[in-house]
Structure 1
């Protein structure tokens, strides 16, 4: 359904085996190529030595985010234990550290859509070929990525079955069966499931994967006004997922005709900005499908006005439909925006562990009484925090030094670390360290829960504020074409007066193409970094310089501009 997986970034080539060549004979077990590990290890020497001596998995990030972003990203997602490579190229294992974040998103969003009247359901993952081929524009949008099942054991199937790339053609034949009267509407269903889009070029963890998790909502209404209302309700929920949960600022807008969902009436979107590369990324989409799919699949109902005065039945009315989706791509966006040279930086609201409590200052010279006091205090802190609904964990592993533990949890992005030693016990306090900026402060044991909760709220707000300040500083108005490409090359979004014509958009992409691209960009045929594309037409138009009909001209072609549009290089 959503087009957000159709275009994705170049981060680093998948380390798993490539798909078998077309026409290959007997299937062979794929060879798995492990991710390259650089020779130079820039983690703390003591921690590195300790990891080697204990046989632990190496921790620490060896690449700088601003120097080698692709390799930085690959190391962060694997060494933080968010994800593991799988034997099938383009498919990945979501480890608990990542899956918990997806669950937090799922729980929040699911509660919100149920308040709107949406119900959850589940439809099969296989699509008969005849269903998929009913809607020509829709099929063409996914044709190259559809995976087909043609055999069951040693027998050929009578009809090939597609593995769903999206579920319109799975669900809508049954919508036609269930909708007979206007009283059957609205029909508002959502499903949490996986889909398969068989990308052949450079799969990327979280961002371009052959199988991914998402929610897809499919709804039908009696009127366009109802459908329009829902499109924007869902878009606002997507904004909240990114901004309120993931602390990632997004821009709400409408896609151009060229970029809208294939077969739909119009597409709304939330667009993110990745500062390190200066690229945009489509974060989630909410589509109004109009009546196109309803006409193709026969989703219609009797006109509620009844027969004509002559007694003849009025023509059947076709439903107005929407579809909308959010995927696990959201985790990749969060990582790219907030991560730093130490690893993940997780927003407190979605972190699997919000607070890690670490005993400190205990050594061979520490008395047994002081050791016991520290252990008891650490246990009490964790108990209080958990009782208050704060996700806390104690790291009391005796085989690792305090420094190693600090590195371990910093890599994994835990928002707050509480350090507790003998002196802290006697002072009835703990030392709190923020992951996002490294600041430290003391927390009184008497007001522990209140202080920690306020600290987590501050971290969440500060992460969003910093990301938004950076994003806003990199969105500039461009009214003269000579300033357009230099702005792109400076990692900016360009907000331009635009005519909204497809030919102009194609010309902009061609005129803004860069030469001498970095290898990781040039090798990715689907990355539109070769030139700028329209990201969206922002719903919130600039108030300081409104478009004047007949006077304001398109930055690119010089024709009359209709609205300000956001252009940029994009994942």
Structure 2
């Protein structure tokens, strides 16, 4: 199977596409720019979604659902917001089809034109804040802490499975607060939730930071982000949390009566992650043999493959496997016993390696006689012979070790690809030769930021939250700078 995968060194982009397809995560759709998420990929998303949902609820949030369609006039109410999304919007103009009287099939009924066009949801700030106007009258109605699991449409012209598609799945939190301080705290709290999830469950280290004004979410006063590094040295934005100030409250006239009986505008946040995280997972961990999935969110953590001759051996092995699977499930480990007889064990090994199953157990009649099994771990490809006694606990410990090893490997790669740069020549050279994050001085102007992007295709990924004051000169202009920022080429 691995022969069907382009190597990372040969063509990283094609390697990624091959893995997504051959690993059974997704497929191309008849609808241009959209994808079909296959069962293996959707099971992965479900595990990610369920864990995030638990974390959201632990921080006091509840789920709701808002319409897919947004009146066009709503997007006109917040100038920066509409400017940021106008070029990506899909628009519904009619509500009925009819048969072509000339035999041309189905056509749009020209008499069914909508009085006001509807925008297919690119994000939900406008429809939600129009709703919040009816929900909020007093400080007693605040805070509102709502999350939505939904699909959105952004009409991308250049697409790539999971990383950039016209339609994708995500969650979007939208909260309303009585004070600026509460809203700011919420924005930073949710950034920490994202960082914890990505590091502890996806085994992917991130850098927490703030976006520059040019890179902020349309309509936000501050955008916090987590940035991750892929194996080709490019960065990927893994999640964002936005402090929206009072911009949307003013646009939709959402006021509340304070304890002092004064009318004030509400303070807002929004935050979200999407199925793009699956793309990050693939690119950060996998190899030329297939996917490598972290045990904590892998759809299947353990697969057991029997090796036998004849039905008698198969039945004998099957009885022992029942005991093993029971023990694993009691420890909360997902396990599959693949006793199908339409493929050979070697083919099964390759299939589960391709799909990124963290642990593979092979057991034959001789193993059974010796009270052992062979275990292979996907992350290092190491194989070991292990006693059947205490096997479930051994596997649980092994899964924890795989999770930690994957994080450490990704962190070591990331850390070795953060480079301080002080000259323009080194900046350009290292972008091409090494990639990764380049820590460099910037004079703080949008013009310089845009010029660097035009010359190198590198953007400021973030201003790290743990930044310290560092006097220096801008990498491009030589103007004074008080801190370094992280540049990288990115997805």
TM-score by length of 1: 0.81
Q: Is the 8 A contact 2:229 2:436 kept in 1?
A: no
Q: Of the candidates 216, 237, 241, which is equivalent to residue 193 of structure 2?
A: 237
- Residue in structure 1 matched with residue 275 of structure 2 by the alignment: 328
Between Structure 1 and Structure 2, the one with more strand by share is 2
For the 8 Å contact 1:500–1:562, the answer to whether it is kept is: no
Native 8 Å contact 2:376 2:382 kept in 1: yes
Q: Deviations over 1:179-235 (max 9, x none)?
A: 1111111111110000011112x2110011111000000001111111111111110
Please give the secondary structure, in 2, of the residue aligned with 1:209.
coil
Unaligned runs of 5+ in 1: 1-42, 44-58, 307-313, 513-530
Q: How many angstroms apart in 1 are the aligned matches of 2:312 and 2:123?
A: 62
Q: Which residue of structure 1 lines up, in the alignment, with residue 151 of structure 2?
A: 194
What does residue 273 of structure 1 align with? 229
**Counterpart for residue 21 of structure 2:** 78
Contact kept, 8 Å, 1:61 with 1:343, in 2: the verdict is: no
Instruction: State yes or no: 1:532 paired with 2:476.
Output: no
Supply the distance in 1 between the matched residues of 2:309 and 2:444 (Cα, whole angstroms).
69
Three-state SS of the structure 2 residue aligned to 1:398 is coil
CA distance in 1, matches of 2:423, 2:222: 29
1:369: Cα distance to partner?
4.9
Deviations 1:306-359 (A, max 9, x none): 3xxxxxxx4x21111000000000000100111111111111111111000001
1:443–1:452: 8 Å Cα contact kept in structure 2? no
Is residue 124 of structure 2 the alignment partner of residue 167 of structure 1?
A: yes
Q: Give, in whole Å, the separation in 2 of the partners of 1:98 and 1:538.
A: 32
For the residue of structure 1 that corresponds to 2:473, the secondary structure is coil
Is residue 318 from structure 1 mapped to residue 265 from structure 2 by the alignment? yes
- 1:291–1:320 Cα contact (<8 Å) kept: yes
Match of 1:228 in 2: 184
1:511 paired residue among 452, 455, 465: 455
Aligned residue number for residue 344 of structure 1? 291
Q: Which moved more, 1:403-412 or 1:421-430?
A: 421-430
Tell me what 1:38 maps to.
Answer: none
Counterpart of 1:565 in 2: which secondary structure?
A: strand
Question: 1: CA distance between counterparts of 2:209 and 2:192?
Answer: 11
Question: Aligned partners of 1:192, 1:286: CA distance in 2, in Å?
Answer: 16
Match of 2:252 among 273, 277, 297: 297
State yes or no: 1:252 paired with 2:208: yes
* Preserved contact between residue 191 and residue 217 of structure 1 (Cα < 8 Å): yes
**1:185 to 2:142 alignment:** yes
2:431 matched residue in structure 1? 488
- Equivalent residue for 1:353, pick from 300, 305, 309: 300
- Structure 1 distance, partners of 2:67, 2:454, is 41
Helix, strand or coil: the match of 2:258? coil
Q: Residue in 1 aligned with 2:473?
A: 553
Alignment equivalent of 1:363, drawn from 309, 315, 318: 309
The 1-side partners of 2:304 and 2:447 are apart by 58
Residue 287 (structure 1) aligns with: 242
For the residue of structure 1 that corresponds to 2:199, the secondary structure is: helix
Instruction: State how far apart, in whole Å, the 2-side matches of 1:208 and 1:540 are.
Output: 30
**CA distance in 1: counterparts of 2:4 and 2:205, whole angstroms:** 26
Whole-angstrom distance in 2 between the partners of 1:290 and 1:177: 19
Distance 1:130 1:221 in 2: 25
What SS class does the counterpart of residue 205 from structure 1 fall into? coil
Q: Distance between the aligned counterparts of 1:145 and 1:371, measured in 2?
A: 57
For 1:562, the equivalent position in structure 2 comes to 482
Alpha-carbon distance in structure 2 between the residues aligned to 1:399 and 1:355: 20
In structure 2, which of residues 129, 133, 137 is the aligned counterpart of residue 176 of structure 1? 133
Counterpart-to-counterpart distance in 1, 2:167 and 2:360: 35
Counterparts of 1:355 and 1:387, CA distance in 2: 14
Matches within 5 A, 1:449-528: 449-490=392-433, 491-512=435-456
Between the aligned partners of 2:320 and 2:258, the Cα distance in structure 1 is 70
| Deviations, residues 9-35 of structure 1 (Å, cap 9, x unaligned) | xxxxxxxxxxxxxxxxxxxxxxxxxxx
**Where does residue 39 of structure 1 map in the other structure?**
none
Query: In structure 2, what is the equivalent of residue 115 of structure 1?
Result: 58
Moved more, 106-115 or 462-471: 106-115
Give the aligned CA root-mean-square deviation in angstroms. 1.4
Per the TM alignment, residue 484 of structure 1 is displaced from its structure 2 partner at its CA by 0.5
Q: Does 1:263 align with 2:219?
A: yes
CA–CA distance in structure 1, aligned partners of residues 454 and 314 of structure 2: 68
Of stretches 374-383 and 327-336 in structure 1, the one that deviates more from structure 2 is 374-383
Q: CA deviation at 1:562?
A: 2.8
Structure 1: distance between partners of 2:402 and 2:224: 30
Question: 1:365-406: CA deviations, max 9, x gaps?
Answer: xxx654432221223222221232110001111121111111
CA distance in structure 1 between the aligned counterparts of 2:349 and 2:421, rounded to whole angstroms? 45
Q: CA deviation at 1:60?
A: 5.1
Q: Give ranges in structure 2 of 5+ residues lacking alignment.
A: 97-108
Shift of 1:117: 1.4
Q: How far is 1:102 from its partner?
A: 1.2
Shift of 1:429: 1.9
